[in-house]
A and B are shown apart, each in its own frame.
Chain A
Amino acid sequence: MATIGSMFIGIGGIAALVAVVSLFWGRSLGEKDGESLTNTGYLATFASFGAFTVSVFIMIAAFFREDFSLMYVASNHSTDVSGLSWLYKISGIWAGREGSLLFWAWLITVFAAYVAYRRIQKTDDLSNMGLAVMNIVLLFFTVALFVETNDPFKLSPAGWLGANGELLIASAMNPLLQHWAMIIHPPTLFIGYAGMTVPFAFAMAALIVGDGSKAWIKIVDRITVFAWLLLGIGIGLGAIWAYVVLGWGGYWAWDPVENASLLPWLTGVGLLHSFTVYRRRDGFKGWAIMMAAISFSVVILGTFITRSGLVQSVHAFGEDIFSAWLFGAMIVLPIVFAIWGLMARREMFSGNDDFESLTSKESSYYFNNVLMLVATIVVSYLTVSSALPSFLPGGGKSFGPDTYDAVAHPVGILYVLIMAVCPLLSWGKTEGATFWKRAKWPFVGTGVLGAALLTVWYTQLLPIAQKVGSSNSFEPLNVQSLYAVVGLLVAALAISVSVFMFTEGARRRAMAKEESFGAALWHIITHARTQSGGYLTHLGIGIILIGLIGSSMYVDDMDFAIPQTPGANFEAAGYTFTFNGINEVNIPNGDVESTLAFDVTDGSRLVQTVTPGQIFYYRQQQTRLNVDVITQPLRDVFVVYNGIDAAGNIQMNVKINPLISFAWAGFVILIIGSGLASWPKKLPEARPVAAVSKKRR
Chain B
Amino acid sequence: MRVNKRARVRLIGVTAIILVAVGAIILGAGSGDGSYARSVSEALDDPELVGERVRVTGTVIDGSWDQGVKPMLFDIRDEGASSGPVINVVYSGSPPDTFGDGATAIVTGILSGDGSLDATDMITKCPTKYAAADGAMTVEDVLSSGANVIGTEITITGLVASDIQPAGGDSRFAIASTSAGEKIGIAFDGSLPSDIDEGDAVVITGEMRDDGFFHAIEVALSDSEK
Q: Which residue of B lies closest to A246 (CB)?
A: B97
Residues of A within 8 A of B2 (CB): 354
Residues of B within 8 A of A620 (CB): 126
Q: Is residue B18 within 8 Å, beta carbon to beta carbon, of the partner chain? A: yes
Residues of B within 8 A of A355 (CB): 4, 7-8, 11
Contacting pair B11 A621 (CB below 8 A): no
Residues of B within 8 A of A407 (CB): 22, 25-26, 29
Size category of the binding interface on chain B: 35 or more
Q: Provide the bound-state CA to CA distance between A358 and B7, in Å.
A: 6
CB distance from B57 to the nearest CB of A (A): 9
Contacting pair B166 A162 (CB below 8 A): yes
Q: Is residue B121 within 8 Å, beta carbon to beta carbon, of the partner chain? A: yes
Contacting pair B10 A358 (CB below 8 A): yes
Pick the contact of A371 from B8, B18, B35, B121 — CB < 8 Å?
A: B18
Contact with A along B92-134 (1 / 0, CB 8 A): 0011111000000000100000000000010000111100000
Q: Which residue of B lies closest to A371 (CB)?
A: B18
Contacting pair B10 A396 (CB below 8 A): no
Q: Provide the bound-state CA to CA distance between A354 and B191, in Å.
A: 70
Pick the contact of B4 from A167, A170, A356 — CB < 8 Å?
A: A356
List A residues 387-402 near B (Cβ within 8 Å): 393-394, 396-400, 402
Pick the contact of A625 from B27, B35, B97 — CB < 8 Å?
A: B97
Residues of B within 8 A of A619 (CB): 191
Q: Provide the bound-state CA to CA distance between A350 and B87, in Å.
A: 61
Q: Is residue B51 within 8 Å, beta carbon to beta carbon, of the partner chain? A: no
Residues of B within 8 A of A367 (CB): 14-15, 18
Pick the contact of B34 from A167, A394, A411 — CB < 8 Å?
A: A394
Pick the contact of A403 from B1, B8, B34, B98 — CB < 8 Å?
A: B34
Q: Is residue A645 within 8 Å, beta carbon to beta carbon, of the partner chain? A: yes
Residues of A within 8 A of B8 (CB): 355
Known: A357-B7, A407-B22. Contact between A402 and B33, CB under 8 A?
A: yes
Q: Provide the bound-state CA to CA distance between A649 and B67, in Å.
A: 10
Contacting pair A406 B25 (CB below 8 A): yes
Known: A163-B168, A170-B193, A646-B67. Contact between A378 and B34, CB under 8 A?
A: no
Residues of B within 8 A of A354 (CB): 1-2, 4
Q: Is residue A370 within 8 Å, beta carbon to beta carbon, of the partner chain? A: yes
Q: Is residue B217 within 8 Å, beta carbon to beta carbon, of the partner chain? A: no
Q: Is residue B149 within 8 Å, beta carbon to beta carbon, of the partner chain? A: no
Residues of A within 8 A of B121 (CB): 400
Q: Provide the bound-state CA to CA distance between A623 and B125, in Å.
A: 11
Q: Is residue B147 within 8 Å, beta carbon to beta carbon, of the partner chain? A: no
Q: Provide the bound-state CA to CA distance between A561 and B127, in Å.
A: 27
Q: Is residue B180 within 8 Å, beta carbon to beta carbon, of the partner chain? A: no
Q: Is residue A247 within 8 Å, beta carbon to beta carbon, of the partner chain? A: yes
CB distance from A213 to the nearest CB of B (A): 24
Residues of B within 8 A of A78 (CB): none
Q: Is residue A531 within 8 Å, beta carbon to beta carbon, of the partner chain? A: no
Pick the contact of A161 from B10, B18, B166 — CB < 8 Å?
A: B166
Contacting pair A378 B68 (CB below 8 A): no
Residues of A within 8 A of B168 (CB): 162-163
Known: A354-B2, A371-B18. Contact between A397 and B26, CB under 8 A?
A: no
Contacting pair B34 A398 (CB below 8 A): yes
Contact with B along A354-384 (1 / 0, CB 8 A): 1111100001001100110010001000100
Contacting pair A366 B11 (CB below 8 A): yes
Residues of A within 8 A of B126 (CB): 620-622
Contacting pair B18 A651 (CB below 8 A): no
Total number of residue pairs linking A and B with CB closer than 8 Å: 148
Contacting pair A374 B166 (CB below 8 A): no
Q: Is residue B90 within 8 Å, beta carbon to beta carbon, of the partner chain? A: no
CB distance from B47 to the nearest CB of A (A): 17
Q: Provide the bound-state CA to CA distance between A171 and B55, in Å.
A: 29
Q: Provide the bound-state CA to CA distance between A247 and B95, in Å.
A: 9
Q: Is residue A691 within 8 Å, beta carbon to beta carbon, of the partner chain? A: no
Contact with B along A151-164 (1 / 0, CB 8 A): 00000000111110
Q: Is residue A559 within 8 Å, beta carbon to beta carbon, of the partner chain? A: yes
Q: Is residue A385 within 8 Å, beta carbon to beta carbon, of the partner chain? A: yes
CB distance from A234 to the nearest CB of B (A): 22
Q: Which residue of B lies closest to A559 (CB)?
A: B94
Q: Provide the bound-state CA to CA distance between A614 and B98, in Å.
A: 11
Q: Provide the bound-state CA to CA distance between A356 and B3, in Å.
A: 7
Pick the contact of B7 from A356, A402, A621 — CB < 8 Å?
A: A356
Q: Which residue of A lies closest to B21 (CB)?
A: A410
Q: Provide the bound-state CA to CA distance between A656 and B53, in Å.
A: 29
CB distance from A627 to the nearest CB of B (A): 10
Q: Is residue B170 within 8 Å, beta carbon to beta carbon, of the partner chain? A: no
Contacting pair B96 A247 (CB below 8 A): yes
Q: Is residue A653 within 8 Å, beta carbon to beta carbon, of the partner chain? A: yes
CB distance from A16 to the nearest CB of B (A): 36
Q: Which residue of A lies closest to B32 (CB)?
A: A474
Residues of B within 8 A of A653 (CB): 94
Residues of B within 8 A of A399 (CB): 30, 33-35
Q: Provide the bound-state CA to CA distance between A619 and B194, in Å.
A: 12
Q: Provide the bound-state CA to CA distance between A163 and B196, in Å.
A: 18
Q: Is residue A97 within 8 Å, beta carbon to beta carbon, of the partner chain? A: no
Residues of B within 8 A of A170 (CB): 128-129, 191-194
List A residues 134-172 near B (Cβ within 8 Å): 159-163, 167-171
Q: Which residue of B lies closest to A385 (CB)?
A: B34
Q: Which residue of B lies closest to A156 (CB)?
A: B194
Contacting pair A370 B68 (CB below 8 A): no
27 A-B pairs with C-beta separation under 8 A: A159-B192, A162-B166, A163-B167, A168-B166, A168-B167, A168-B191, A169-B191, A169-B194, A170-B191, A170-B192, A247-B98, A356-B4, A357-B7, A374-B19, A393-B27, A394-B30, A397-B35, A397-B37, A400-B35, A400-B108, A400-B121, A414-B18, A473-B33, A561-B68, A619-B191, A621-B126, A647-B68
Interface residue ranges, A against B (CB under 8 Å)? 159-163, 167-171, 246-247, 313-314, 354-358, 363, 366-367, 370-371, 374, 378, 382, 385-386, 393-394, 396-400, 402-403, 406-407, 410-411, 414, 473-474, 557, 559, 561, 614, 619-625, 642-643, 645-647, 649, 651, 653
Q: A355-B8, A397-B36, A403-B30 are in contact. List 20 more A-B contacts (CB 8 A).
A: A159-B192, A159-B196, A160-B194, A162-B166, A163-B166, A314-B37, A356-B7, A366-B11, A371-B18, A374-B18, A382-B26, A399-B34, A399-B35, A403-B33, A406-B25, A406-B26, A474-B32, A622-B126, A623-B97, A647-B68
Nearest 5 interchain pairs by C-beta:
A397-B34, A406-B29, A169-B194, A645-B68, A403-B33
